[in-house]
Amino acid sequence: MAAVLSRKAVSAPGKVLLAGGYLVLDREHTGLVFGLDARIHVHIEPLQTSQGVVLSEIIVKSPQFLEANWEYGYRLTEGEGGIAVTQLRVSADDPLLRNAFVETALSYALTYISSSVPHHLIQPASISIIADTDYYSQPAKRSVSSSRFLNFDVPLWDAHKTGLGSSAALVTAFTGALLAHYLPKSQFDLTTDTGRQRLHNLSQAAHCAAQGKVGSGFDVASAVYGSCLYKRFSPSVLQSHGEPGTLLFSKKLKSLVEETSVKWDTEIVKSAVDIPKGLRLVMCDVDCGSKTPGMVKKVLQWRKEKPEEAGKIWGELQKRNDGLAAELVRLSKSNSTEYAELRECIAKIRALIREMSEASGVPIEPEEQTQLLDTCSRIPGVVGGVVPGAGGYDAVSLLVENKPDVIESIKKALADWKVNEKVDTGAVTIGKVSMLDVREEMEGVRLEDPAIYGEWVEGH
Protein backbone atom coordinates (compact mmCIF):
# COMPACT_ATOMS: atom_id res chain seq x y z
CA MET A 1 0.00 0.00 0.00
CA ALA A 2 1.33 3.48 -0.90
CA ALA A 3 2.36 5.83 1.89
CA VAL A 4 -0.01 8.66 2.74
CA LEU A 5 1.59 11.89 1.55
CA SER A 6 1.16 15.20 3.33
CA ARG A 7 1.18 18.81 2.10
CA LYS A 8 4.59 20.40 1.57
CA ALA A 9 5.75 23.89 0.59
CA VAL A 10 9.12 25.19 -0.58
CA SER A 11 10.25 28.69 -1.52
CA ALA A 12 13.31 30.01 -3.36
CA PRO A 13 14.62 33.59 -3.61
CA GLY A 14 15.02 35.82 -6.65
CA LYS A 15 18.47 37.16 -7.49
CA VAL A 16 20.48 40.11 -8.64
CA LEU A 17 23.90 39.70 -10.27
CA LEU A 18 25.42 42.82 -8.77
CA ALA A 19 28.78 42.35 -10.47
CA GLY A 20 30.00 39.90 -13.11
CA GLY A 21 27.39 40.23 -15.88
CA TYR A 22 28.77 38.48 -19.01
CA LEU A 23 31.96 37.54 -17.10
CA VAL A 24 30.02 34.83 -15.24
CA LEU A 25 29.55 32.98 -18.56
CA ASP A 26 33.26 32.12 -18.47
CA ARG A 27 34.89 29.71 -16.00
CA GLU A 28 37.88 32.01 -15.64
CA HIS A 29 35.65 34.64 -14.00
CA THR A 30 33.17 34.95 -11.13
CA GLY A 31 29.88 36.67 -10.43
CA LEU A 32 28.83 38.44 -7.23
CA VAL A 33 25.20 37.39 -6.84
CA PHE A 34 22.75 38.43 -4.14
CA GLY A 35 19.59 36.53 -3.29
CA LEU A 36 16.52 38.76 -2.87
CA ASP A 37 13.76 38.42 -0.31
CA ALA A 38 11.13 38.22 -3.08
CA ARG A 39 10.41 34.50 -3.33
CA ILE A 40 8.60 32.04 -5.56
CA HIS A 41 6.57 29.59 -3.44
CA VAL A 42 5.41 26.12 -4.47
CA HIS A 43 2.73 24.28 -2.48
CA ILE A 44 2.05 20.60 -3.21
CA GLU A 45 -0.65 18.29 -1.88
CA PRO A 46 -2.20 14.96 -2.84
CA LEU A 47 -4.88 15.30 -5.53
CA GLN A 48 -8.22 14.15 -4.13
CA THR A 49 -9.82 11.48 -6.36
CA SER A 50 -13.01 9.49 -6.06
CA GLN A 51 -12.62 6.20 -4.19
CA GLY A 52 -11.32 3.45 -6.43
CA VAL A 53 -10.26 5.91 -9.17
CA VAL A 54 -6.56 5.74 -10.01
CA LEU A 55 -5.14 8.73 -11.91
CA SER A 56 -1.67 9.43 -13.25
CA GLU A 57 -2.22 13.16 -13.24
CA ILE A 58 -0.58 16.24 -11.77
CA ILE A 59 -2.40 19.57 -11.87
CA VAL A 60 -0.33 22.77 -11.70
CA LYS A 61 -1.94 26.17 -11.03
CA SER A 62 -0.70 29.72 -10.77
CA PRO A 63 -3.78 31.17 -9.01
CA GLN A 64 -2.62 34.83 -9.07
CA PHE A 65 -3.04 34.89 -12.86
CA LEU A 66 -5.95 34.32 -15.22
CA GLU A 67 -6.15 31.00 -17.09
CA ALA A 68 -2.88 29.73 -15.57
CA ASN A 69 -3.70 26.03 -15.20
CA TRP A 70 -1.79 23.09 -16.63
CA GLU A 71 -2.70 19.42 -16.37
CA TYR A 72 -0.16 16.68 -17.00
CA GLY A 73 -0.28 12.95 -17.44
CA TYR A 74 2.89 10.97 -16.66
CA ARG A 75 4.15 7.48 -17.39
CA LEU A 76 7.28 5.41 -16.95
CA THR A 77 9.02 4.83 -20.29
CA GLU A 78 10.96 1.77 -21.45
CA GLY A 79 14.73 1.33 -21.49
CA GLU A 80 15.22 3.37 -18.27
CA GLY A 81 14.07 6.44 -20.19
CA GLY A 82 12.58 8.01 -17.08
CA ILE A 83 9.15 9.60 -16.69
CA ALA A 84 7.55 11.12 -19.78
CA VAL A 85 5.16 13.99 -19.09
CA THR A 86 2.30 14.90 -21.44
CA GLN A 87 0.22 18.02 -21.16
CA LEU A 88 -3.49 17.20 -21.17
CA ARG A 89 -6.11 19.29 -22.91
CA VAL A 90 -8.88 20.26 -20.49
CA SER A 91 -11.33 20.47 -23.39
CA ALA A 92 -10.98 20.07 -27.15
CA ASP A 93 -11.67 23.78 -27.68
CA ASP A 94 -8.94 25.04 -25.34
CA PRO A 95 -5.60 26.08 -26.85
CA LEU A 96 -2.66 24.17 -25.39
CA LEU A 97 -0.58 26.85 -23.64
CA ARG A 98 2.70 25.32 -22.65
CA ASN A 99 4.94 26.24 -19.74
CA ALA A 100 8.36 24.83 -20.64
CA PHE A 101 9.87 25.45 -17.18
CA VAL A 102 7.09 23.66 -15.31
CA GLU A 103 6.87 20.79 -17.80
CA THR A 104 10.63 20.15 -17.91
CA ALA A 105 11.12 20.47 -14.13
CA LEU A 106 8.22 18.03 -13.60
CA SER A 107 9.67 15.45 -15.98
CA TYR A 108 13.19 15.72 -14.53
CA ALA A 109 12.04 15.62 -10.90
CA LEU A 110 9.66 12.65 -11.41
CA THR A 111 12.40 10.79 -13.28
CA TYR A 112 14.83 11.32 -10.40
CA ILE A 113 12.18 10.29 -7.84
CA SER A 114 11.34 7.09 -9.75
CA SER A 115 15.04 6.20 -10.06
CA SER A 116 15.64 6.85 -6.34
CA VAL A 117 12.70 4.74 -5.19
CA PRO A 118 12.06 2.07 -7.83
CA HIS A 119 8.52 0.60 -7.77
CA HIS A 120 7.40 3.76 -5.94
CA LEU A 121 3.91 4.68 -7.07
CA ILE A 122 3.89 8.38 -7.91
CA GLN A 123 0.50 9.46 -6.65
CA PRO A 124 -1.49 12.29 -8.29
CA ALA A 125 -0.84 15.76 -6.89
CA SER A 126 -2.10 19.32 -7.03
CA ILE A 127 0.61 22.01 -7.17
CA SER A 128 0.18 25.77 -6.70
CA ILE A 129 2.84 28.31 -7.70
CA ILE A 130 2.60 31.61 -5.82
CA ALA A 131 4.89 34.61 -6.42
CA ASP A 132 5.77 37.45 -4.11
CA THR A 133 4.50 40.77 -5.49
CA ASP A 134 7.74 42.26 -6.80
CA TYR A 135 8.33 39.73 -9.58
CA TYR A 136 5.85 41.66 -11.72
CA SER A 137 5.41 45.35 -12.59
CA GLN A 138 1.66 45.63 -13.06
CA PRO A 139 -0.72 46.83 -10.39
CA ALA A 140 -2.21 44.02 -8.37
CA LYS A 141 -5.32 43.60 -6.24
CA ARG A 142 -5.46 42.37 -2.68
CA SER A 143 -8.41 40.10 -3.39
CA VAL A 144 -7.66 37.67 -0.59
CA SER A 145 -8.20 39.81 2.49
CA SER A 146 -5.28 39.16 4.80
CA SER A 147 -2.88 37.53 2.34
CA ARG A 148 0.62 38.86 1.63
CA PHE A 149 0.18 37.59 -1.94
CA LEU A 150 -1.62 39.68 -4.53
CA ASN A 151 -3.93 38.90 -7.43
CA PHE A 152 -2.29 40.14 -10.66
CA ASP A 153 -5.58 39.71 -12.57
CA VAL A 154 -3.94 39.28 -16.01
CA PRO A 155 -2.98 36.18 -18.03
CA LEU A 156 0.55 35.05 -17.11
CA TRP A 157 1.90 35.78 -20.61
CA ASP A 158 0.75 39.43 -20.32
CA ALA A 159 2.59 39.99 -17.04
CA HIS A 160 5.60 42.34 -17.07
CA LYS A 161 8.50 40.71 -15.24
CA THR A 162 10.89 42.88 -13.23
CA GLY A 163 13.94 40.71 -13.97
CA LEU A 164 14.43 39.10 -10.54
CA GLY A 165 15.12 35.60 -11.89
CA SER A 166 11.66 34.10 -11.68
CA SER A 167 12.34 31.07 -13.90
CA ALA A 168 15.32 29.88 -11.80
CA ALA A 169 13.46 30.46 -8.51
CA LEU A 170 10.43 28.65 -9.95
CA VAL A 171 12.37 25.60 -11.18
CA THR A 172 14.27 25.36 -7.87
CA ALA A 173 11.21 25.70 -5.60
CA PHE A 174 9.11 23.45 -7.86
CA THR A 175 11.78 20.72 -7.95
CA GLY A 176 12.40 21.02 -4.19
CA ALA A 177 8.67 20.70 -3.44
CA LEU A 178 8.33 17.56 -5.59
CA LEU A 179 11.37 15.90 -3.98
CA ALA A 180 10.24 16.83 -0.44
CA HIS A 181 6.70 15.55 -1.18
CA TYR A 182 7.52 12.20 -2.79
CA LEU A 183 10.84 11.12 -1.28
CA PRO A 184 11.31 9.97 2.33
CA LYS A 185 13.46 12.28 4.44
CA SER A 186 16.19 9.62 4.55
CA GLN A 187 16.59 10.09 0.79
CA PHE A 188 16.05 13.82 0.42
CA ASP A 189 16.33 16.42 3.15
CA LEU A 190 16.36 20.04 2.03
CA THR A 191 17.99 21.17 5.27
CA THR A 192 21.22 19.19 4.69
CA ASP A 193 24.25 19.99 2.52
CA THR A 194 23.70 16.81 0.49
CA GLY A 195 20.02 17.65 -0.05
CA ARG A 196 20.81 21.17 -1.26
CA GLN A 197 23.62 19.95 -3.50
CA ARG A 198 21.35 17.38 -5.19
CA LEU A 199 18.58 19.94 -5.57
CA HIS A 200 21.12 22.35 -7.13
CA ASN A 201 22.33 19.74 -9.64
CA LEU A 202 18.83 18.62 -10.63
CA SER A 203 17.50 22.19 -10.90
CA GLN A 204 20.47 23.27 -13.03
CA ALA A 205 19.87 20.34 -15.41
CA ALA A 206 16.11 21.02 -15.68
CA HIS A 207 16.50 24.80 -16.01
CA CYS A 208 19.09 24.50 -18.80
CA ALA A 209 16.93 21.94 -20.64
CA ALA A 210 13.86 24.21 -20.35
CA GLN A 211 15.64 27.26 -21.74
CA GLY A 212 17.18 25.22 -24.54
CA LYS A 213 20.78 26.04 -23.74
CA VAL A 214 23.40 25.64 -21.01
CA GLY A 215 23.48 29.00 -19.21
CA SER A 216 25.97 30.07 -16.56
CA GLY A 217 23.67 28.83 -13.77
CA PHE A 218 24.28 31.69 -11.31
CA ASP A 219 20.52 32.25 -10.96
CA VAL A 220 19.81 28.64 -9.94
CA ALA A 221 22.83 28.67 -7.58
CA SER A 222 21.49 31.73 -5.75
CA ALA A 223 17.96 30.23 -5.69
CA VAL A 224 19.44 27.23 -3.83
CA TYR A 225 22.17 28.87 -1.73
CA GLY A 226 21.20 32.56 -1.50
CA SER A 227 23.89 35.25 -1.82
CA CYS A 228 27.26 33.92 -2.97
CA LEU A 229 30.35 34.40 -5.13
CA TYR A 230 29.77 32.08 -8.08
CA LYS A 231 32.02 30.39 -10.63
CA ARG A 232 30.13 28.47 -13.31
CA PHE A 233 30.32 24.73 -14.04
CA SER A 234 31.84 23.47 -17.31
CA PRO A 235 29.05 23.28 -19.93
CA SER A 236 30.18 19.70 -20.72
CA VAL A 237 28.70 18.58 -17.36
CA LEU A 238 25.21 18.91 -18.88
CA GLN A 239 25.85 17.63 -22.36
CA SER A 240 25.61 13.86 -22.13
CA HIS A 241 22.50 12.80 -20.17
CA GLY A 242 20.08 13.00 -23.09
CA GLU A 243 16.36 13.80 -22.88
CA PRO A 244 13.42 12.26 -21.03
CA GLY A 245 12.28 9.06 -22.79
CA THR A 246 15.66 8.35 -24.40
CA LEU A 247 17.62 5.20 -23.55
CA LEU A 248 19.10 5.23 -19.99
CA PHE A 249 18.04 8.86 -19.33
CA SER A 250 16.89 7.90 -15.83
CA LYS A 251 20.20 6.25 -14.92
CA LYS A 252 22.29 9.09 -16.37
CA LEU A 253 20.23 11.77 -14.62
CA LYS A 254 20.55 9.99 -11.26
CA SER A 255 24.33 9.76 -11.59
CA LEU A 256 24.49 13.43 -12.67
CA VAL A 257 22.45 14.58 -9.65
CA GLU A 258 24.33 12.37 -7.17
CA GLU A 259 27.71 12.98 -8.86
CA THR A 260 28.52 9.26 -9.13
CA SER A 261 30.04 9.56 -12.60
CA VAL A 262 30.07 13.28 -13.45
CA LYS A 263 31.77 15.80 -11.16
CA TRP A 264 30.25 19.28 -10.99
CA ASP A 265 33.10 21.81 -11.01
CA THR A 266 31.03 24.80 -9.98
CA GLU A 267 32.33 26.96 -7.10
CA ILE A 268 29.87 28.60 -4.72
CA VAL A 269 31.44 30.63 -1.89
CA LYS A 270 29.02 32.15 0.63
CA SER A 271 31.71 33.62 2.91
CA ALA A 272 32.93 35.91 0.08
CA VAL A 273 29.68 37.88 0.14
CA ASP A 274 28.19 40.14 2.77
CA ILE A 275 26.33 43.43 3.17
CA PRO A 276 27.45 45.72 6.00
CA LYS A 277 24.86 46.32 8.75
CA GLY A 278 24.45 49.99 7.84
CA LEU A 279 23.72 49.31 4.16
CA ARG A 280 21.04 47.58 2.14
CA LEU A 281 20.32 46.72 -1.46
CA VAL A 282 17.50 48.52 -3.28
CA MET A 283 16.01 47.63 -6.68
CA CYS A 284 14.34 50.22 -8.92
CA ASP A 285 12.03 48.78 -11.56
CA VAL A 286 12.03 50.30 -15.03
CA ASP A 287 8.73 49.12 -16.49
CA CYS A 288 9.82 47.78 -19.88
CA GLY A 289 12.45 45.03 -19.47
CA SER A 290 15.14 43.57 -21.78
CA LYS A 291 15.45 40.47 -23.90
CA THR A 292 18.66 39.10 -22.35
CA PRO A 293 19.55 36.24 -24.78
CA GLY A 294 19.91 38.58 -27.79
CA MET A 295 22.19 40.91 -25.84
CA VAL A 296 24.36 38.04 -24.60
CA LYS A 297 24.76 36.72 -28.15
CA LYS A 298 25.98 40.10 -29.41
CA VAL A 299 28.47 40.59 -26.57
CA LEU A 300 29.92 37.11 -27.09
CA GLN A 301 30.19 37.78 -30.84
CA TRP A 302 32.14 40.99 -30.11
CA ARG A 303 34.41 39.10 -27.73
CA LYS A 304 35.08 36.49 -30.41
CA GLU A 305 35.83 39.12 -33.07
CA LYS A 306 37.95 41.36 -30.83
CA PRO A 307 39.48 39.06 -28.20
CA GLU A 308 42.24 41.46 -27.20
CA GLU A 309 39.98 44.47 -26.63
CA ALA A 310 37.37 42.33 -24.83
CA GLY A 311 39.97 40.46 -22.76
CA LYS A 312 41.41 43.73 -21.45
CA ILE A 313 37.99 45.05 -20.35
CA TRP A 314 36.93 41.69 -18.84
CA GLY A 315 40.18 41.35 -16.90
CA GLU A 316 39.85 44.87 -15.52
CA LEU A 317 36.19 44.30 -14.64
CA GLN A 318 37.05 41.10 -12.77
CA LYS A 319 39.62 42.99 -10.72
CA ARG A 320 37.07 45.70 -9.86
CA ASN A 321 34.35 43.14 -9.06
CA ASP A 322 36.71 41.30 -6.70
CA GLY A 323 37.50 44.66 -5.09
CA LEU A 324 33.79 45.36 -4.57
CA ALA A 325 33.15 41.97 -2.93
CA ALA A 326 36.22 42.35 -0.68
CA GLU A 327 35.26 45.89 0.35
CA LEU A 328 31.71 44.80 1.30
CA VAL A 329 33.10 41.97 3.45
CA ARG A 330 35.71 44.33 5.01
CA LEU A 331 33.03 46.88 5.92
CA SER A 332 30.86 44.12 7.40
CA LYS A 333 33.66 42.91 9.66
CA SER A 334 34.87 46.35 10.73
CA ASN A 335 31.42 47.95 11.19
CA SER A 336 32.86 51.03 9.48
CA THR A 337 30.48 53.59 7.97
CA GLU A 338 33.09 55.17 5.70
CA TYR A 339 31.93 54.29 2.19
CA ALA A 340 34.33 56.32 0.01
CA GLU A 341 36.22 53.22 -1.19
CA LEU A 342 32.96 51.40 -1.95
CA ARG A 343 31.68 54.40 -3.90
CA GLU A 344 34.91 54.39 -5.93
CA CYS A 345 34.60 50.61 -6.63
CA ILE A 346 31.07 51.06 -8.04
CA ALA A 347 32.04 54.12 -10.14
CA LYS A 348 34.94 52.19 -11.74
CA ILE A 349 32.73 49.16 -12.50
CA ARG A 350 30.15 51.42 -14.16
CA ALA A 351 32.83 53.15 -16.26
CA LEU A 352 34.06 49.77 -17.52
CA ILE A 353 30.51 48.58 -18.26
CA ARG A 354 29.90 51.72 -20.35
CA GLU A 355 33.18 51.05 -22.15
CA MET A 356 32.01 47.49 -22.88
CA SER A 357 28.61 48.85 -24.04
CA GLU A 358 30.31 51.16 -26.52
CA ALA A 359 32.86 48.63 -27.78
CA SER A 360 30.30 45.84 -28.31
CA GLY A 361 27.44 48.05 -29.56
CA VAL A 362 25.14 46.46 -26.96
CA PRO A 363 23.14 48.73 -24.60
CA ILE A 364 24.41 47.14 -21.36
CA GLU A 365 24.15 50.49 -19.57
CA PRO A 366 21.90 52.46 -21.94
CA GLU A 367 21.90 56.27 -21.74
CA GLU A 368 18.49 56.28 -20.00
CA GLN A 369 19.82 53.97 -17.27
CA THR A 370 22.96 56.14 -16.97
CA GLN A 371 20.71 59.14 -16.29
CA LEU A 372 18.64 57.19 -13.76
CA LEU A 373 21.72 55.87 -11.90
CA ASP A 374 23.36 59.33 -11.91
CA THR A 375 20.18 60.89 -10.48
CA CYS A 376 19.97 58.25 -7.73
CA SER A 377 23.71 58.42 -6.95
CA ARG A 378 23.40 62.14 -6.15
CA ILE A 379 20.86 61.45 -3.38
CA PRO A 380 22.50 61.74 0.08
CA GLY A 381 22.86 58.23 1.55
CA VAL A 382 23.08 56.44 -1.82
CA VAL A 383 26.55 54.90 -2.15
CA GLY A 384 26.12 53.96 -5.80
CA GLY A 385 24.31 51.71 -8.23
CA VAL A 386 24.65 49.53 -11.31
CA VAL A 387 22.59 48.02 -14.10
CA PRO A 388 22.98 44.41 -12.90
CA GLY A 389 23.29 41.12 -14.77
CA ALA A 390 23.25 41.41 -18.54
CA GLY A 391 22.18 45.05 -18.26
CA GLY A 392 19.64 46.74 -20.50
CA TYR A 393 16.32 47.99 -19.21
CA ASP A 394 15.62 45.62 -16.29
CA ALA A 395 15.57 46.87 -12.70
CA VAL A 396 18.67 48.79 -11.53
CA SER A 397 20.40 48.04 -8.19
CA LEU A 398 21.49 50.56 -5.60
CA LEU A 399 23.58 50.17 -2.45
CA VAL A 400 22.20 52.65 0.07
CA GLU A 401 22.41 53.53 3.74
CA ASN A 402 19.72 51.60 5.57
CA LYS A 403 17.79 54.63 6.86
CA PRO A 404 14.07 55.47 6.36
CA ASP A 405 14.82 59.04 5.17
CA VAL A 406 17.19 57.74 2.45
CA ILE A 407 14.51 55.32 1.20
CA GLU A 408 11.93 58.15 1.17
CA SER A 409 14.31 60.42 -0.80
CA ILE A 410 14.79 57.69 -3.42
CA LYS A 411 11.04 57.12 -3.75
CA LYS A 412 10.45 60.87 -4.17
CA ALA A 413 13.22 61.20 -6.80
CA LEU A 414 11.82 58.22 -8.75
CA ALA A 415 8.26 59.57 -8.67
CA ASP A 416 9.42 62.74 -10.46
CA TRP A 417 11.99 61.11 -12.75
CA LYS A 418 11.74 61.39 -16.53
CA VAL A 419 14.17 60.50 -19.30
CA ASN A 420 15.91 63.57 -20.75
CA GLU A 421 13.97 64.44 -23.91
CA LYS A 422 17.18 64.58 -25.96
CA VAL A 423 17.80 60.85 -25.57
CA ASP A 424 16.78 58.72 -28.52
CA THR A 425 15.30 55.63 -26.86
CA GLY A 426 14.66 53.96 -30.21
CA ALA A 427 11.98 51.28 -29.94
CA VAL A 428 12.11 51.20 -26.13
CA THR A 429 9.44 53.00 -24.17
CA ILE A 430 10.57 53.76 -20.65
CA GLY A 431 7.61 53.44 -18.31
CA LYS A 432 7.38 54.76 -14.80
CA VAL A 433 10.24 53.93 -12.47
CA SER A 434 9.38 52.67 -9.01
CA MET A 435 11.24 51.21 -6.06
CA LEU A 436 10.58 47.51 -5.51
CA ASP A 437 9.91 46.38 -1.98
CA VAL A 438 12.85 43.96 -1.99
CA ARG A 439 16.25 43.79 -0.39
CA GLU A 440 19.17 41.36 -0.16
CA GLU A 441 18.54 37.87 1.22
CA MET A 442 21.42 35.71 2.42
CA GLU A 443 19.32 32.51 2.72
CA GLY A 444 18.47 30.31 -0.25
CA VAL A 445 15.80 27.65 -0.74
CA ARG A 446 13.79 26.67 2.34
CA LEU A 447 10.79 24.69 3.53
CA GLU A 448 7.73 26.79 4.34
CA ASP A 449 4.66 26.19 6.49
CA PRO A 450 1.94 25.06 4.01
CA ALA A 451 -0.67 26.89 6.12
CA ILE A 452 0.57 30.37 5.08
CA TYR A 453 -0.99 30.13 1.61
CA GLY A 454 -4.56 29.91 2.93
CA GLU A 455 -7.20 30.60 0.29
CA TRP A 456 -4.66 30.63 -2.56
CA VAL A 457 -4.45 26.84 -2.44
CA GLU A 458 -7.96 26.05 -1.26
CA GLY A 459 -10.64 25.79 -3.88
CA HIS A 460 -8.51 27.32 -6.67
Give the β-pairing of 57-61 and 125-131. Answer: parallel
Residue 146 has pLDDT above 70, yes or no: no
**pLDDT score for 67:** 85
CATH of the domain at 333: 3.30.70.890
Residues 266 and 358 in one domain: no
**pLDDT score for 262:** 83
Residue 393 has pLDDT above 90, yes or no: no
Residues 226 and 350 in one domain: no
Claim: this prediction has a pTM higher than 0.85: yes
Q: pLDDT tens, 257-276?
A: 999 888 899 999 999 999 99
In a domain, 87, yes or no: yes
Q: pLDDT tens, 8-44?
A: 999 999 999 999 999 999 999 999 999 999 999 999 9
Q: How far apart are CA 223 and CA 169, in angstroms?
A: 5
Q: pLDDT tens, 70-118?
A: 999 999 999 999 999 999 976 666 667 889 999 999 999 999 999 998 7
Q: Give the pLDDT mean for 228-243.
A: 94
Residues 262 and 300 in one domain: no
Largest Cα–Cα distance of the chain, in whole Å?
A: 72
In a domain, 2, yes or no: no
Residues 405 and 447 in one domain: no
Domain count, the chain: 2
Q: How far apart are CA 282 and CA 36, in angstroms?
A: 10
Question: Domain range spanning residue 105?
Answer: 8-270+443-456
CA 117 to chain centroid? 29
- Secondary structure (DSSP) of 329-392: HHHHHHT----HHHHHHHHHHHHHHHHHHHHHT--SS-HHHHHHHHHHHTSTTEEEEE--TT-S
Residues 81 and 217 in one domain: yes
Residues 331 and 213 in one domain: no
Percent of the chain past pLDDT 70, that is, above it, reads 90
Q: pLDDT tens, 305-347?
A: 999 999 999 999 999 999 999 999 999 999 899 999 999 999 9
Helix, strand or coil for residue 240? coil
CA angle 271/275/281 to nearest 5° reads 135
Residues 324 and 450 in one domain: no
Q: How far apart are CA 377 and CA 382, in angstroms?
A: 6
In a domain, 161, yes or no: yes
Q: Give the pLDDT mean for 374-386.
A: 96
- Binning pLDDT at 50, 70 and 90, where does residue 164 land? confident
DSSP 66: B
In a domain, 1, yes or no: no
